[in-house]
Amino acid sequence: MLLKLARQSLWSRRGTAWLTLCSLIISLSLLLGIDHLRLEAKRSFTSTVAGTDLIVGARSGQLNLLLYTVFRIGNATNNISYAHYEQISKHPQVRWAIPLALGDSHRGFRVLGTNTDYFRYFRYGEQQSLQLAAGREFSSVYETVLGADVAKKLGYQLGQEIVLSHGVGKVSFSQHKDQPFTVVGILAPTGTPVDQSVHVSLTGIEAIHQGWQNGAPAMRKAKTVLSEAELAALQPTVLTGALLGLKSKVATFAVQRQINEFKAEPLSAILPGAALAELWQMLVLVENLLLVITALVLLAALIGLTTTLLAAQRERARELAILRAIGARPWQLFLLIELEVLLLTVTSIAGAFLLLTGSLAALQPWLSSQYGLVISLLAWHPHTAAGLGLVLALSLLLGAIPAVQAYRQSLNQGLQVRL
Amino acid sequence: MAVDLNIPAIELKNLRHQWPDQAFCLQIPALTLAVGQHLFIRGASGSGKTTLLNLLCGVLSIQQGEIRLGGQLLQPNSAAKRDQLRARQIGVVFQQLNLIPYLSVLDNVLLGQAFSGKAADMARAERLLQALQLPAELWQQSAAALSVGQQQRVAIARALLGKPTLLIADEPTSALDADNRDAFMRVLLQEADAAGSTVVFVSHDQALAGYFQYQLDMGRLGDGVTAVRGNAACC
């Protein structure tokens, strides 16, 4: 009965209740959302580099190298020569090496030139390897394997021909029109930037840039069509970077040092874990600041809730007196007010999850294509229950202010109400 | 509930109540009201009517003396027991605004039973509403939609639903016009009799005294006049 009273009483004041609910929902979804995004971003990033021991690229900062090689964010500072890559891949401590050639795109999706070792050795998440959802790996120059999202969003099927563009913008004025690639495989979803990548062979990358000078098509030739012999003779010359897997983790620092001191070319080798840690370190202040701000916003909303209830208290004096007259105990009136607080808070938590899931579902395509972030729709983490419990406790604590007032009023006032 | 007619509905002994910082002191040496009797309490503002009602209802703690309702002593030290006694044995009708505005008429009537711990007696609620000339199409409407006269009748239904030992009415007619008032008084007393409830009716309106066998004039308590017999003509 008390619950029904609380519900109907809120319903009778649905104007203010609704506004209070809105402010609670917004602030709760902010808090939950920021916490969720922060954790999911970390999980997503960490999962992507889970199986890689070292990342090699032209000499640059470790964050830059990490971001452009693995997450396709930003651009390479310089290339490394394929010959040196081969030299490194033959290092006795290196178990596997995956070459990476970036710089082209297809309708906003980055093109990754690599070899079939990519499908064999690349590991993500809990040491999972890439799986083909359809088709096969590329085996000749003009074949491509699409990431799951690329195929899904562009609606590509096996056997379809696609044209790559130079540069990484969504709109490109220099397209490799004369050398279309055939889709021969589509990868299963991984929840990593692999899903947003178009994979071709290194020779494919080489072929579309034949005759190019300084990143621009050769002026004299209108069309570059390579003969069979020319295609067979293609050899990769430059790479953007490489991923290395080592035979022993112990050797990681030694190999890293050797690559960093590589004489023939200025190279950088980085530990993805360490680079990510540096990234988180940089972000921790922003992260905490955001959390504190959203927590304060939530607190303000909860105080707003208390204010609303306190303001209603005057007009409810009559109601409470009636309840007293028909035998309600003072603690039942206390409970009634707290039940209203509970109803509002629980409803707003449910509303916040709905809003959050809805907006994540709406934002997911953008987040995954722009940042390679795959965010799970449900904002639930092991500590979420405790956090929400805390929010609930806090709301009940603040709700106790009007509730205690109702309690005391009912004790002092008797049955008469002085209006 | 079986009512023993030999036990008085209300029994006051040496009741004394003093508000802090106020000269006025409510004093009633003795007052006894048998089951089923109707008592009219008249008095100007400040004569202690409200205090007496709050004491009878068990909202105020008794300072001195004792009150028994249907033989049961109102425990001065246990607000919980008094609240329970009120929920089970007392029905209250206020001056106006008796109902929770956002609940339906029927829910308002059934509300009292939620606190008395009894099962909701839907059949009796509907019978009472019908007897009080509240047609069924009003029952699901919110209480705020009714006229004042209708609201007061709903309040009677609520007060009498649990067949209380005591029905307390605190100026319930003051917001009603003369026609409505007479109709109200008739159904109030009639239904109280049907429920076997003793009625304590407070008003400053002497015209209503004719409905009651017993009267208590708060203004004359100080003179030692307490118990009251006979009808309006004798006082």
pLDDT digits (tens, 9 = 90+) for A285-324: 988 998 899 889 999 999 999 998 888 887 788 888 888 8
With CB atoms and an 8 Å threshold, state whether B112 touches A327.
yes
Q: Are B41 and B49 in contact (CB under 8 A)?
A: yes
Integer angstrom CA distances of residue A76 from A69, A244, A334: 8, 18, 64
- Please provide residue B70's backbone torsions phi and psi, each rounded to the nearest 5 degrees: 55, 35
A9 contact B CB<8A: yes
Question: Can you tell me the mean pLDDT for B38-64?
Answer: 83
- Please provide residue A151's backbone torsions phi and psi, each rounded to the nearest 5 degrees: -65, -40
Comparing A193-197, B40-44, B117-121, B221-225, which segment has the lowest mean pLDDT? B221-225
Which residues partner with B10 through β-bridges? Answer: B33, B69
Shortest alpha-carbon distance between residue A306 and chain B (Å) = 21
Instruction: Please name the member of A326, A411, A416 whose beta carbon is closest to the beta carbon of B115.
Output: A326
Question: Can you tell me the mean pLDDT for B113-123?
Answer: 79
Q: Which residue has the tokens 């360490």?
A: A274
State whether residue A142 is helix, strand or coil.
coil
Instruction: Please name the member of A5, A322, A414 whose beta carbon is closest to the beta carbon of B59.
Output: A414
Minimum CA–CA partner of B113 in chain A: A326
Which residues partner with B72 through β-bridges? Answer: B69
A3 contact B CB<8A: no
**Closest-CA residue to A179 (of A198, A207, A200):** A207
Residue partners of A191: CB distance under 8 A and separation at least 6:
A44, A47, A124, A125, A374
Separation of alpha carbons A220 and A307, rounded Å: 77
pLDDT at A415 (0 to 100)? 63
Exposure class string for B94-122: b at 16+ Cβ within 10 A, else e: bbbbbbbbbbbbbbbbbbbbbbbeeebbe
Q: Can you list the alpha helix ranges (DSSP code H) found in A51-95?
A: 62-69, 82-89
Structural domains of chain B ordered from first start? 10-233 (3.40.50.300)
Instruction: Please name the member of A319, A327, A414 whose beta carbon is closest to the beta carbon of B83.
Output: A327
A318 contact B CB<8A: yes
The CA-based angle B102-B115-B164, given to 5 degrees, is: 105
Instruction: Please name the member of A1, A9, A324 whose beta carbon is closest to the beta carbon of B114.
Output: A1
pLDDT at B235 (0 to 100)? 33
Instruction: Please name the member of B50, B79, B80 whose beta carbon is closest to the beta carbon of A416.
Output: B50
Comparing A377-381, B64-68, B117-121, which segment has the lowest mean pLDDT? B117-121
pLDDT at A173 (0 to 100)? 62
With CB atoms and an 8 Å threshold, state whether B101 touches A12.
yes
Instruction: Please name the member of B59, B79, B158 whose beta carbon is closest to the beta carbon of A415.
Output: B59
Question: Can you tell me the mean pLDDT for B27-38?
Answer: 84
Residue partners of A159: CB distance under 8 A and separation at least 6:
A182, A183, A184
**Pairs of CB atoms within 8 A across A/B:** 75
Is the per-residue pLDDT at B117 higher than 90? Answer: no
Residue partners of A131: CB distance under 8 A and separation at least 6:
A187, A188
pLDDT at B233 (0 to 100)? 33
**Closest-CA residue to B34 (of B78, B3, B77):** B3
Is the per-residue pLDDT at B183 higher than 60? Answer: yes
Task: Tell me what percent of the residues of chain B surpass a pLDDT of 70.
Answer: 91
pLDDT at A340 (0 to 100)? 92
pLDDT at A216 (0 to 100)? 61
With CB atoms and an 8 Å threshold, state whether A1 touches B59.
no
Minimum CA–CA partner of B100 in chain A: A319
- pLDDT bracket for residue B232 (50, 70, 90): very low
- pLDDT bracket for residue B222 (50, 70, 90): low
- Please provide residue B30's backbone torsions phi and psi, each rounded to the nearest 5 degrees: -160, 140
Residue partners of A37: CB distance under 8 A and separation at least 6:
A375
Largest CA distance in chain A: 104
With CB atoms and an 8 Å threshold, state whether B115 touches A11.
no
Separation of alpha carbons B12 and B200, rounded Å: 13
Residue partners of A310: CB distance under 8 A and separation at least 6:
A401, A402, A405
Q: Which residue has the tokens 């988180």?
A: A280
Those residues of chain B whose CB sits closer than 8 Å to some CB in chain A are 50, 53-54, 57, 59-60, 79-80, 83-84, 86-88, 90-92, 94, 97-103, 107, 111-112, 114-116, 158, 170
Chain B residue numbers touching A321 (CB-CB < 8 A):
94
| pLDDT tens digits, B126-161 | 888 888 888 888 889 888 888 888 888 888 888 888
With CB atoms and an 8 Å threshold, state whether A327 touches B80.
no
Chain A residue numbers touching B100 (CB-CB < 8 A):
5, 9, 319, 322-323
Chain A residue numbers touching B92 (CB-CB < 8 A):
325-326, 415
pLDDT at A231 (0 to 100)? 76
A7 contact B CB<8A: no
Integer angstrom CA distances of residue A340 from A11, A306, A328, B121: 10, 11, 17, 27
The larger pLDDT score, comparing residue A209 to residue B96, is at A209
Sheet with B72-73, edge to edge strand ranges: B25-33, B10-18, B64-69, B72-73
Chain B residue numbers touching A4 (CB-CB < 8 A):
107
Residues of chain A with pLDDT under 50: 222, 418-419
Instruction: Please name the member of A9, A330, A415 whose beta carbon is closest to the beta carbon of B54.
Output: A415
What residue ranges do the domains of chain A occupy? 2-45+284-415, 54-270
**Closest-CA residue to B144 (of B97, B93, B101):** B101
